[in-house]
């Protein structure tokens, strides 16, 4: 499993020229649609878990450092998420989170627990395919955000290792850049943070302010009540 260490930045008109100047290689441009799922009362996202289907491929982003205090400015501006891409693992982790939440609730949730147990029993006996949406219905998961992104991806080769830069344009009119390093789980994060800091400096991105991702802006516009809850819970 890998941990995605990422820093977002404001995408201005000069960014493509700057990337060229520092030797970035364009590795492609493509469009994809993301659908994000959660329970109607947002059990997953209020714990900072993000369940996504991108063009038929499922992914669960999980907080990599729960409760840890950031050490410095780079730390604060970078996010770290463990990425689960195995469909059976995603299903079992989502079931665990919902079950845990249900157990924390009152006895009146017993019918919901029975429903989750039924899904678990079925999983043991039925083979599941990644395009099977029955598990979503069984776990009462609904799509709460959907948008398309046009992405231009670049690679920067450096002695310490490669760094990826994505320039994203979402279909609801928001552009954002991301500097990203993937780290095998358990490896030291500091090296990744340093690689990101170096590229940030090379691109002349000096802002100390954290930059909003696509989801921030999407929720602010289309799910303002949930956006406020995520802010209050310090998830966003
Ligand atoms: C982790 C997360 C969300 C899921 C989307 O993550 P993100 O990397 O922003 O999206 P995208 O399309 O670039 O995915 P990729 O192609 O890199 O896999 S939505 C909100 N979060 C949490 C989060 C946060 N708290 N703060 C910041 C700055 N970003 C994300």
Q: CA 158 to CA 199: how far, in whole Å?
A: 9
Overall average pLDDT of the 163-191 stretch: 95
What is the per-residue burial (b if ≥16 Cβ within 10 Å, else e) of 129-146? eeeeeebbebbebeebbe
Domains of the chain: 2-232 (2.40.320.10)
| CB 139 less than 6 A from any atom of ligand 1 | no
Share of the chain above pLDDT 90, in %: 72
**Atom of ligand 1 at shortest distance to CA of 6?**
8
Give residue 116 CA to ligand 1 midpoint distance, Å. Answer: 28
pTM of the predicted model as reported, rounded to 2 decimal places:
0.89
> C-alpha 234: how far from its chain's center?
16
Give residue 25 CA to ligand 1 midpoint distance, Å. Answer: 23
Give residue 61 CA to ligand 1 midpoint distance, Å. Answer: 8
Q: CA 23 to CA 199: how far, in whole Å?
A: 11
What's the DSSP call for residue 24?
P
Band of the pLDDT at 109, cuts 50, 70, 90?
low
| CB 51 less than 6 A from any atom of ligand 1 | no
What's the DSSP call for residue 16?
H
Q: Is the pLDDT of residue 53 over 70?
A: yes
**Atom of ligand 1 at shortest distance to CA of 36?**
4
């Amino acid at each position: 499993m890998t941990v995605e260490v990422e820093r977002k930045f404001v995408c201005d008109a000069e960014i493509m020229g700057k990337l060229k100047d520092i030797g970035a290689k364009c590795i492609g441009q493509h469009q994809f649609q993301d659908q994000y799922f959660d329970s109607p009362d947002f059990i997953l996202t209020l714990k900072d878990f993000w369940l996504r289907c991108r063009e038929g491929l499922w992914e669960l982003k999980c907080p990599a450092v729960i409760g840890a205090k950031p050490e410095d400015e780079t730390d604060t501006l970078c996010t770290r998420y463990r990425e689960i891409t195995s469909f059976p693992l995603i299903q079992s982790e989502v079931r665990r989170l919902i079950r845990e939440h249900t157990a924390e609730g009152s006895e009146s949730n017993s019918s919901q627990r029975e429903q989750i147990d039924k899904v678990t029993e079925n999983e043991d006996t039925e083979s599941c395919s990644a395009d099977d949406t029955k598990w979503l219905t069984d776990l009462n998961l609904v799509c709460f955000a959907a948008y398309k992104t046009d992405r231009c991806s670049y690679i920067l080769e450096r002695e310490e290792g490669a760094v990826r830069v994505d320039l994203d344009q979402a279909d609801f009119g928001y552009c954002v850049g991301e500097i990203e390093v993937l780290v095998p789980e358990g490896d030291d994060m500091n090296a990744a943070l340093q690689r990101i800091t170096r590229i940030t400096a090379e691109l002349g991105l000096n802002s100390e302010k954290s930059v909003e991702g696509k989801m921030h802006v999407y929720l602010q516009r289309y799910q303002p009540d949930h956006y406020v809850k995520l802010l209050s819970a310090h998830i966003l």
